């Protein structure tokens, strides 16, 4: 489902014409709800950060939501995955910033002092070299409302949950009737179950390791 098809479907279902700004806001709210409910592989992204010598802090990517994994690559080239810990644990375990070495743990420290919109990692111990830090993390994929092609992975593969999620948001915006809001919300939840079956189920396993999915026979 393309952006044009999605907007046409919304306006057809609700028999109402929306201003572009309003319908786009509703669509983006629906996308956010979906991505916060289901961990699709499409929400995962990879980049490589660089440690700052003598500083335990490193700025997260601007679109960072949460970490999937953070590793450090020393001169040997062998990946070592860091353990996620609370910043208070890191402060207590490595109380002296001047004590440097190969990082072993990381935590999300808070916002960057130079940019309140971005988060920071804290590493322990403080890096003694400019190590490469491969990061895999979750982010919000580009919205279908801003995609140049008018297409996104969600619209192409999970158009039902996107449509009903947007219908709920748009009908709430219209202050629609409670019974119809419930109807659209129920349809959204049905579609969401299928989305979770993919994003939190099938994408996290394969038949070689997990075997076929089985339904009990009664």
Any idea how long the chain is? 218
| Strands 80-81 and 66-72, sheet pairing | antiparallel
CA distance 90 to 27: 40
Asked if 133 and 49 touch (Cβ cutoff 8 Å), the reply is: yes
- Split the chain (218 residues) into runs of 10 and give each run's mean pLDDT: 96 94 97 93 94 94 94 91 95 92 94 76 95 96 96 94 96 92 93 84 62 58
131: Cα separation from own chain's centroid: 26
3-class DSSP assignment, residue 62: coil
Q: What is the pLDDT of residue 204?
A: 59
Residue 110 has a pLDDT of 82
pLDDT at res. 200:
72
Contacts from 30-36 at CB under 8 Å and sequence distance 24+? 30/162, 30/165, 30/166, 30/168, 30/169, 31/140, 31/143, 31/144, 31/154, 31/162, 31/165, 32/140, 33/165, 34/154, 34/158, 34/161, 34/162, 34/165, 34/192, 34/195, 35/140, 35/141
The C-alpha atoms of residue 142 and residue 23 are separated, in whole angstroms, by 16
Q: What is the pLDDT of residue 215?
A: 52
């Amino acid at each position: 489902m393309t952006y044009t098809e999605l907007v046409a479907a919304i306006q057809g279902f609700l028999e109402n014409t929306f201003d572009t700004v309003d319908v786009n806001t509703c669509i983006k709210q629906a996308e956010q709800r979906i991505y916060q409910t289901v961990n699709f592989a499409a929400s995962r992204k990879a980049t490589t950060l660089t440690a700052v010598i003598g500083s335990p802090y490193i700025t997260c990517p601007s679109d960072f939501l949460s970490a999937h994994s953070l590793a450090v690559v020393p001169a040997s080239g062998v990946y070592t995955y860091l353990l996620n810990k609370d910043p208070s644990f890191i402060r207590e375990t490595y109380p002296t910033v001047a004590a440097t070495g190969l990082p072993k743990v990381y935590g999300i420290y808070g916002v960057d002092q130079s940019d309140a919109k971005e988060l920071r990692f804290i590493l322990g111990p403080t890096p003694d070299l400019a190590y490469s830090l491969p990061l895999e993390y979750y982010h919000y994929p580009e919205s279908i409302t801003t995609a140049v092609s008018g297409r996104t992975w969600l619209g192409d593969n999970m158009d039902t949950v996107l449509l009903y999620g947007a219908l709920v948001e748009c009908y709430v915006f219209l202050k629609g009737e409670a019974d119809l809001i419930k109807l659209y919300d129920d349809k959204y939840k049905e579609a969401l179950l299928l989305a979770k079956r993919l994003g939190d189920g099938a994408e996290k396993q394969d038949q070689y390791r997990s075997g076929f999915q089985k339904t009990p026979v009664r």
